[in-house]
Structure 1
Amino acid sequence: MSKKINLNGLDVFLMPQKVVFIPRYDMIILSDWHIGKLGHFRKEGLFVPPMQLEEEFARLAVLVEELLIRQVVFLGDLFHSSWNYEWDEFQKFLGRYPGIRFTLTRGNHDILPDALWRKSILHVKEHVLLSEGILFSHEPMPNLDKGIINVVGHLHPGCEVATRGRQFFKLPCFYWEEGVLTLPAFGRWTGLFLVGKRYNNRIFAVVGNEVVELK
């Protein structure tokens, strides 16, 4: 079950698949997929299993097909490092959806040569701004006009949740503070940066198939 919140009059849904869905724009937003990360580690001689690419791509495919998405915005760190074959497979996946506009707000890990970006159907930008005053970027942007809400990634936020049995679980979360909404990492091979609940922030934990706000 998703969690609906309102940003500058715009209804957005925080999804348990760790994406933001904006029905008005037929758009989903996701961040920090880090495609190619396991392939990069293998090139460096580390013994890790190969990424199951079709399984990974299916996570996005289900969303764009079921929600009838026309726009996808990746908030940076889409590809983990230097080129490997996983980039080419990802380009083939994007090619399955000629009717969708794919945009990347480039992150610190997106270091592929410019020639590869130019060959891709991805639209690469520093940021994307909606008319409602919602700005998408990889990291928080300084000196924004008052009232602009910045939707970002980069941090891989997570939270710690206690249960009645005195067990503690670390879960990915959406994190809101001072006009900045930070998305959890879409990638499954990323760590968590734990954030704590305070009076002036909001934490929305991804708990299985639900997004739950912590009180």
Structure 2
Amino acid sequence: MRQWLDYTFCGHSCRLYFDGSLFVEDLNALFLSDIHLGKGGQFRKEGVPTPIAVHHFGMKRLSAAIDRHPTSTVIFLGDLFEGTQNKETSELLDFIRNRSERTFILVKGNHDFDLPKWSELLVYDQYSIGNFLCLHEPPGSNFSKNCSFNEALARRAHPELNDDKVLICGHLHPGATLKGKGRFRVKMKAFFFNHWIGILPAFGALTGHYSLAENGTYFGIAENYVIPLGDWYK
């Protein structure tokens, strides 16, 4: 087992990392999704005890992921923030300013409704790079229906999708469950890919993960390793 695995998606050579980030070498682009920065602060505001160390650990992971590729374009696939701004989220501005050689792009997610006005962070509803159309939510996605999504709806909403243009998204926090003998079960975050969409696992620590009721290729994340789970996993 390794801390990363290489996978070709829509003609692009992608490197999948154990922290949930994805690097595309020929685009020099790093993709991350669902960091939910500031979630610990929101929990504390609501009376849920959450150590500040959770935030510090998250920023350390974010720094490690981004600094692996010193000149990359960094693309956040939505839910960079957890709702309203707080002291935890303000730390990100210094983080970005200290990496001025990079371009930081946010594709807005459903939790990104109180965005700071930072010139260093470029914000889009959707963003195209190479063969990828970047969105936060897969079209037709529904948490109440086993996190399903809909190819036909995606193609109607985005007619530019074809064999050479695919979606890359977040939002669903994909996961997988390994089943062993008896009642043995191990749940983990996972990358998901099929012929028209790739979905990244949630990067944030306080995010959880959900099984997808979809055919595709899965790569699980266990501790500091990426594990190929093969085609069609349920």
Q: Distance in 2 between matches of 1:76 and 1:154?
A: 7
1:161 maps to 178
Q: Distance in 1 between matches of 2:56 and 2:223?
A: 22
Q: Distance in 2 between matches of 1:170 and 1:120?
A: 39
Q: Does the CA-based 8 Å contact 2:58-2:205 persist in structure 1?
A: no
Q: Does the CA-based 8 Å contact 2:38-2:55 persist in structure 1?
A: no
Q: Distance in 1 between matches of 2:7 and 2:171?
A: 21
2:50 aligned to 48, 51, 69, which one? Answer: 48
Aligned residues: 209
1:185 maps to 202
Letter in 1 for 2:94: K
Query: Kindly, what percent of the aligned residue pairs are identical?
Result: 31
Pair 1:207–1:69, CA change in 2 (3 A): farther
Structure 2 gap segments, 5+ residues each: 140-153
Pair 1:166–1:44, CA change in 2 (3 A): closer
Q: Distance in 1 between matches of 2:122 and 2:53?
A: 25
Q: Does the CA-based 8 Å contact 2:193-2:218 persist in structure 1?
A: yes
Letter in 2 for 1:203: Y
Pair 1:55–1:120, CA change in 2 (3 A): farther
- 1:80 matched to 2:82: yes
Q: Distance in 2 between matches of 1:135 and 1:170?
A: 29
Letter in 2 for 1:158: G
Q: Distance in 2 between matches of 1:119 and 1:13?
A: 29
2:135 aligned to 128, 134, 137, which one? Answer: 137
Q: Does the CA-based 8 Å contact 2:174-2:210 persist in structure 1?
A: yes
1:207 maps to 222
3-state SS, counterpart of residue 186 of structure 2: strand
TM-score, length of structure 2 as denominator length: 0.82
How far residue 189 of structure 1 moved from its aligned partner, in angstroms, is 0.2
3-state SS, counterpart of residue 190 of structure 1: coil
3-state SS, counterpart of residue 193 of structure 2: strand
11-20 vs 159-168, which moves further: 159-168
Structure 1 gap segments, 5+ residues each: none
1:123 maps to 122
